[in-house]
Structure 1
């Protein structure tokens, strides 16, 4: 006789299933008592969130999954939101973003990288010398600003080393506001320039973008004394600035508003922007598309923009059109230069 032949069904004791003992609800907690704030810094999974006059350190709640949280995001938190040392809150909700400034690694990469959320203004900082200005980089930043729904502002530094007139002439047709800072002995900023920039930034959330070494962190230190953002010289061999800011950070201005300092960039990929919309961001060229054949790529012999530029007799129209076409070629992968 087998070992279990003496047992019948009544002898078997069933174990209760743990999977079905407690019904689960798909409803997430409403967190109606959550505290609202703005993300002002991100560091290795910890978020600095400004709540009224205090800064709260928080982590992302598990229920948010892989939701990306960036500087400028408006969030809701629960837990310890006192801002006391060693306290930690949880971010349980990210509010809908008004604007999103994005870039891709390069023009062939369609994966967007969100830089800042909910900003009003993109301040494109470029030096007129040391390092040399790059109109193509500025064009890309302008396209990114318009695509994000942000207003652009050009800030030209080191005007004591070069005349800004030639550079500004490339953007006269776009009517982009600008500020020129004339430093002394090669300095990036002067008091008058800082004061004028401050007027443009007051009451708004503004993002500073530009190559390393153009004076972004120097400007932040002047606008928000005591910030001590790291600054560095330009590499004499490459002519490029050294990266001094390693992460984006939002700082509150005394006259109201926020300024966001970002790490220096060597490129500004537009892989996330539809090339068909590029020409819309060149307001001096966009009306000329009425002369183009249907489906025109704006980089072909039949393109009507050449005739448009010729009839307007704009001395910089041809340069602007070539800049547009370089962007189109670069975005399509035909031109990496």
Structure 2
């Protein structure tokens, strides 16, 4: 179906996941045109900026329930910084996060898993078992596809990740679609872009309303739009340490008697606590330095 936005909506972006009202010919037949006259209220809005210095936010998806953060165990190497940024964006948008680790047949993800052992959210491990003869694309083990499908059933879920991590391959396995897939550049270690725009696809053999939104591979996940005070929501393993913070604590590395330091030193955040605290403080410093947050504090 093709629809043109009403004149009064031409400055209002329509994104994947939006519910809209149409008038005119909505048959979807060739050479027909309808008119989009209203964008319904959005229950959630996943956003990002190009980088932390960019005050312009970009709306990725509306009305999603879950954010599936896709990383590869290797080729390309996983980046905890990207995962942490995506977690911040998920909690800020009110989405439940799921971590999907692909290519676990290439490398054991134990070290990566240890980084998030204190967090209570779904993690799915996927492995490649061969190549599909008819398409030449990777064939995934059924157990991971089935497990992830169970968590996506009845939900609207958006997948984000760097290029080359196997995101579109999993989307194809879950939906029966034939999205283009790509590998990794052996020189740069970066994935090749195969998806050029976000696309919503129905989850195969699932309840009505089960949708998967595949997004183009991204190189960075800017958080300039996020309130600095909300960043710690993505670090629930550190949150209890706030109880011992003095009034007005900024929680950065220079903050005197910050309760987070004692909490981590005492081992309350697990073995990965020091790395998690360092990651939080890097994100906090980056967001506070953005033009939209200059002059604000994390309290």
How many angstroms apart in 2 are the aligned matches of 1:73 and 1:204? 15
CA apart distance, 1:185: 5.6
Aligned to 2:168: 217
Task: Report the Cα distance in structure 2 between the residues aligned to 1:191 and 1:320, rounded to whole angstroms.
Answer: 33
* Deviation by residue 1:55-94 (Cα, 9 ceiling, x = unmatched): x221111122301110000000001111111211111000
1:127-142 matches, cutoff 5 A = 127-142=72-87
Q: Counterpart of 2:151?
A: 200
Are 1:108 and 1:332, in contact at CA under 8 Å, matched by a contact in 2?
A: no
Give the structure 2 partner of residue 229 of structure 1.
179
Deviation, 1:301, is 4.0
Aligned pair partner of 2:23 in 78, 86, 89: 78
- Whether the 8 Å CA contact 1:121–1:150 is kept in 2: the answer is yes
Kindly state the Cα deviation for residue 224 of structure 1 after the two structures are TM-superposed.
1.5
TM-aligned CA deviation for residue 192 of structure 1 = 1.6
Query: C-alpha separation between the residues in 2 aligned to 1:175 and 1:230?
Result: 33
TM-score if structure 2 supplies the norm length? 0.89
Gaps of 5+ in 1: 1-55
Partner residue of 1:322 out of 261, 278, 286: 278
Counterpart among 238, 241, 266 of residue 311 in structure 1: 266
Q: Secondary structure at the match of 2:284?
A: helix
CA distance in 1, matches of 2:203, 2:272: 37
> Hey, what's the Cα distance between the residues in 2 that align with 1:185 and 1:318?
38
Task: Give per-residue Cα distances to partners, 1:19-58, cap 9 Å, x unaligned.
Answer: xxxxxxxxxxxxxxxxxxxxxxxxxxxxxxxxxxxxx221
Task: Give the structure 1 partner of residue 196 of structure 2.
Answer: 246
Conserved 8 A contact 1:271-1:331:
yes
Q: Is 1:261 aligned to 2:214, yes or no?
A: yes
Equivalences, count: 278
Q: In structure 2, what is the equivalent of residue 7 of structure 1? A: none
Name the larger-Rg structure. 1
The structure, 1 or 2, with the larger RCO (C-alpha pairs under 8 Å, 6+ apart) is: 2
Offset at residue 184 of structure 1 (A)? 2.6
Q: Mean alpha-carbon deviation: is it higher for 272-281 or for 316-325?
A: 272-281
> How many angstroms apart in 2 are the aligned matches of 1:188 and 1:128?
16
Tell me the secondary structure at the aligned position of residue 312 of structure 1.
coil
Match of 1:283 in 2: 236
C-alpha separation between the residues in 1 aligned to 2:91 and 2:9? 29
- Tell me if the contact between 2:84 and 2:234 (Cα under 8 Å) persists in the aligned partners: no
What SS does structure 1 have at the residue aligned with 2:129? coil
On the 8 A contact 1:160/1:185 being kept in 2, the answer is: no
Whether the 8 Å CA contact 1:189–1:215 is kept in 2: the answer is no
The range that moved more, 163-172 or 139-148, is: 163-172
8 A contact 2:57–2:225 mirrored in 1: yes
Describe the SS at the equivalent of 2:144. Answer: helix
2:102 to 157, 164, 169: 157
Which runs of 5 or more structure 2 residues have no equivalent in the other structure? 132-137, 291-299
Secondary structure of 1:141's counterpart equals helix
TM-score, normalised by the number of residues in structure 1:
0.80
